[in-house]
Structure 1
Amino acid sequence: MQKLLIIITLISSLYSSDLISPIPTNEDYDINKALLGKKLFHEKRLSVDNTISCASCHIITEGGDDNRKFSIGVNNKKGNVNSPTVLNSRYNLSQFWDGRAKDLKEQALGPIHNPLEMNNDFKNIISKLKNDDYYKNAFKIYKDGMTQDNILDAIVEFEKALVTPHSKFDRYLLGDKDILSTEEKEGFELFKDYGCISCHNGVNIGGNLYQKMGIIKEYKIKSGNLGRYNVTKNEEDKYYFKVPTLRNIEHTSPYMHDGSEENLKETIKVMIEYQVGIIPTDEEIYKIELFLKTLNGNTPVIMVDE
């Protein structure tokens, strides 16, 4: 075990904070489309019974998820995978835990058709929205008006605006070395020493690769979800999931794809135990948790008026 820790430490020493990039503050999006998308994101008429909107499972001002183990859809149907945050999702290599959507447009389409979520179709949606004065005027920004593609395009444009820059750690990366406390800095060093940064890196500190849950120690999948295998049907892809972003993680409990961990402390312990094969001390967990809390960013500008 000690040899394994030494190897991990040596490998992690090759990494630095350069592997993590601050969120850009000049991301482009079409404001008129995004504002229309904002309205659609909160529109319950997208669901077959007018009870569920995108915002039902992705509460923007509370972490971008719904803080449930599994989300609730129409007719109180329950899903079988934890709802990931929509915040900063533009930086992910794909969408959903198993990566079945290649981009935000495919992701937006999925819940609308899913019988466990909105259970609807666009013919029905357009028939409900076409006589609404707001939408009749708002969709004039598109030459062909209200269509499936334009509804999805507007939602995507809104989701592109859901970025949370200016976290304490971003400001640290940008040169404000005094903004983090000693213990927060020690937590970041532990984050690197344990090799967490090898999967959680990039602008989104995750979301840019798939990884097996249970690399060193077998993890009992509690939800029956087989991860990337659901998409590829390749045996070697079983239990591989898209690495989640750690941004704003303090506000996105419960954790893991199966929503099995209620708090950060237990999640940190589980990840290091199953992915590295080491049980961290309480002090190490405490410091890593302090570091993770420095990843909370600002509320997206497009939501500030709410």
Structure 2
Amino acid sequence: MRRTRLLPLLTLSALGAGALPACEEKPESAPTQAAAPVAAPTAAKPPASKPMTPEQLAHFFLPLPPPKDAKPAPEDTEAQVALGRMLYFEPRLSKNHDVSCNTCHGLTTFGVDNKPLSDGHKGQKGSRNSPTVYNAAGHIAQFWDGRAATLEEQAQGPILNPVEMAMPDEKRVVATLSSIPEYTARFREAFPGDKKPVTLANAARAIAAYERKLTTPSRFDKYLAGQHGALTEQEQRGLQLFATTGCTTCHNGPAVGGTSFQKLGLVEDYPGLKDAGRFDATKNEDDRGKFRVPTLLNVDKTGPYLHDGSVQDLPTMVRLMAKHQLARNLTDAEVDDLVAFLKSLTGELPPQELISAPPLPPSTKKTPRPDPT
């Protein structure tokens, strides 16, 4: 990784509670729709407060201290990362051999497919948008409802999900991988201490090792490192507004989000919200309507927005979140400045040798055939 603030690595709540990685298995439902708030008048502004210094602003985005019970970050090996890259692009991990991790989380398109809802097995769709896989390893949890605590746990979910990759069970996964000699050799190399290295858990472990490499440094990182000319005047105005308006209450830390759960419609009910959010994972009524706050890194490239992909453009998303999360009706100029700042969070994709599809080994006579049922 190319910046210390992203170790251990890391779209909206204050600027969006639901702008994570991977797909969702809930059945399809109609996307939430909300009318964009009308721009506030430009007159009668309160007196401007003293601008925050770059050092004060940078404080919001420093790495947060880990919980006392946090486990140390896994020590990934090159063999695990290489295997994980292959498995990330491997369609034979799906029942019909036509869906891979990259199908919904395209690495050349900033880790998303830019669809409201992704296509899974037999064209099925869930009810939640597929968020970006980039910069996800430092999130407090994975999936919109946070039901997976780690990338390793998350990576297993879509493979066995009947809506997504639809493998019937772990036995089918192991049979598929074990039938291909190159995979059995690579699993032995990646997990040399295991008597039976070809397992679903080890496949997920390798995919997670690969995903920890997927970070996107941006001009904003240069600004935080002291190169204050890295952001334009308008982007710096947007950053000031982002902080003083209260967006950093939820969108903080190295990934500018991903550190907490927040209720969508915190101060004003969000219209048409049917998804129970984190309640699905915890069954705690206090979590109803809460979602994991998404990262805002690359947010200009990762629409459509919200947990259901119902908001198509960033200016509308900014207005809606200011209204429903902060009770603010923004002026056109404020929206323009905030959007300019958010665009500065677009980073550099990793080199092609890391994110392009690698050659995959051929199937054998023992490899289970595609199953479209």
TM (normalized to structure 2)? 0.74
| Cα offset, 1:66, TM superposition | 1.4
Corresponding residue for 2:202? 150
Corresponding residue for 1:130? 178
The 3 A distance-change label for structure 1 pair 304 and 113 is: closer
Residue identity matched to 1:148: L
SS for the counterpart of 1:90 is coil
2:339 to 273, 284, 289: 289
Corresponding residue for 1:228? 278
Is the Cα contact below 8 Å between 2:279 and 2:285 reproduced in 1?
yes
Corresponding residue for 1:215? 266
1:34 to 53, 58, 81: 81
1:159 to 211, 222, 231: 211
Is the Cα contact below 8 Å between 1:21 and 1:173 reproduced in 2?
no
More deviation, 296-305/204-213: 296-305
2:62 to 12, 21, 36: 21
What per-residue deviation string (whole Å, max 9, x for no partner) do you get for residues 98-147 of structure 1? 10001111101111111110111221122122232321321121233312
Percent identical pairs in the alignment equals 38
Matches within 5 A, 1:35-50: 35-50=82-97
Corresponding residue for 1:254? 304
What per-residue deviation string (whole Å, max 9, x for no partner) do you get for residues 40-71 of structure 1? 01101111111111111111121111111011
| Cα offset, 1:16, TM superposition | 2.8
Corresponding residue for 2:366? none
Aligned mates of 2:57, 2:248 — CA distance in 1? 9
Please give the root-mean-square deviation of Cα atoms over the aligned residues, in Å.
Answer: 2.3
More deviation, 129-138/91-100: 129-138
Residue identity matched to 1:154: A
Is the Cα contact below 8 Å between 1:68 and 1:82 reproduced in 2?
yes
| Cα offset, 1:221, TM superposition | 4.0
SS for the counterpart of 1:16 is helix
| Cα offset, 1:21, TM superposition | 3.2
Corresponding residue for 2:234? 183
| Cα offset, 1:190, TM superposition | 0.9
Corresponding residue for 1:193? 244
2:103 to 53, 56, 73: 56
2:256 to 198, 205, 213: 205
Corresponding residue for 2:7? none
Corresponding residue for 1:66? 113
What per-residue deviation string (whole Å, max 9, x for no partner) do you get for residues 149-196 of structure 1? 21111111111111112x100000001011111001001011112100
Corresponding residue for 1:269? 319
Residue identity matched to 1:101: A
For structure 2, which runs of at least 5 residues remain unmatched after alignment? 1-39, 64-73, 358-373
| Cα offset, 1:80, TM superposition | 0.3
Aligned mates of 1:101, 1:176 — CA distance in 2? 37
Aligned mates of 1:245, 1:160 — CA distance in 2? 15
Residue identity matched to 1:18: H
TM (normalized to structure 1)? 0.90
Is the Cα contact below 8 Å between 1:111 and 1:118 reproduced in 2?
yes
For structure 1, which runs of at least 5 residues remain unmatched after alignment? none
The 3 A distance-change label for structure 1 pair 278 and 175 is: same
The 3 A distance-change label for structure 1 pair 173 and 28 is: farther
More deviation, 153-162/28-37: 28-37
Residue identity matched to 2:125: K
